[in-house]
A = this chain, B = another copy of it.
């Protein structure tokens, strides 16, 4: 008999039907009540075993983690907390789970312990919920862009171009590492490597996506990106997924509108489609908050935070305004900031971003028009700025508890200005000949942004460490599994 998913059983409109379920035992109480989970929902279905007519040897094998198949009648449950249960007529142990050895016992495990068991942690309620929410969010990303007529573009992962400068890169090679071929000058001879040149893992698909936007109009990427930075923080991964839309004819204001609309859409989608999982994660977060001193606790529950983002406009604040606010702020005057804000041009640190978002505006903030000096070469130089105070049409979106979730800009569409900037920064024109072609042939105003997908998942699930929202995190000293 075909089995039915637990989710479908719990949503069934008929009782007293013969059903079969397959899944893993979460708990087994009183030699009688199995809580069975199959991953289709956070909820278990209770399976009531006729223990008097079940061999003792079988009962002993109903342990946490064991895979079983049960058949019986789906009936209304007498117990609290569930609508239906299965009155088991037939029970088969598919795969045992030694109670002494199974690491995922039904008790609270530390997040560190669970990370070391990343292959099994998804069998817990919390990680099941996180990964379902992550999946639904990623679908929402595709749905949002596809409905608007964007074309999904797979930009290359292995790249021969290292000019973007978004961060330290991993090198990719098929050469024998122990004994690399050398040139006459004693350098590694990349001509003998697989691609005939030095190659790296991409830090961003933006430059390639721009070439597509200048043909297809609206495009987006959603793929893995890499940073070989030794950042052992709760917000950084060496391998993470990034979403990068790029739109021809969009200026910076359009870009901010798109980013805000997009973020609200995907959060709303998760709120609408992951109610049970988010409710569980809300309780988890509330329990965690209780461990903190009163002053550090969040004023809002998880769903309140999500709804707050949905219901309010993101504050749009120029860098110059932000600097004025920060200069006048209490932590700056009382020298509580580690990096004091003394003058226009300073790069904002995480402490400043948090102050703006969490203390001053108490809202997501879009900072825009940053000093040209602290931003990337491809950003559109603002017209009519004071000499020495040149700004670019950049924007960052800052979220409470997360910090930067989006970085974007209007791109410099003027070939001469772009080449001039590249010269100043020592970026090789030859290397980016294809990128410059977009400005040589039919250039136009265009804009885009990058959103770090794991930071979004972090915000929506209320988790505190980015390593807990990706299945198998890659961080310094860790590439297990």
Contacts and interface: CB of A to CB of B under 8 A. Distances in A.
Interface stretch (A49-57, A155-163, A352-360): A155-163
B5 A95 contact: no
A294 interface: no
Contact of A180 (B38, B177, B248): B177
A109 interface: no
A6 to B, nearest CB: 9
A79 B440 CA distance: 33
A97 B441 contact: yes
Nearest to A477: B196
A24 interface: yes
Given A22-B248, A180-B177, A470-B154, A477 B215 contact: no
Interface string A166-200: 00101111100110100000011000001111010
A208 B156 contact: no
Given A94-B445, A471-B208, A158 B173 contact: no
A302 interface: no
B173 A178 contact: no
Give the size range of A's interface with the partner. 35 or more
Interface string A200-234: 01000000100110111110000110101010000
Interface stretch (A120-128, A404-412, A420-428): A120-128
Given A22-B249, A223-B224, A440 B101 contact: yes
A197 to B, nearest CB: 6
Most chain B C-beta atoms within 10 Å of own C-beta, residue among A104, A196, A217:
A217
A239 B157 contact: yes
Nearest to A415: B95
A479 B158 contact: yes
Contacts of A224: 154, 157, 223-224
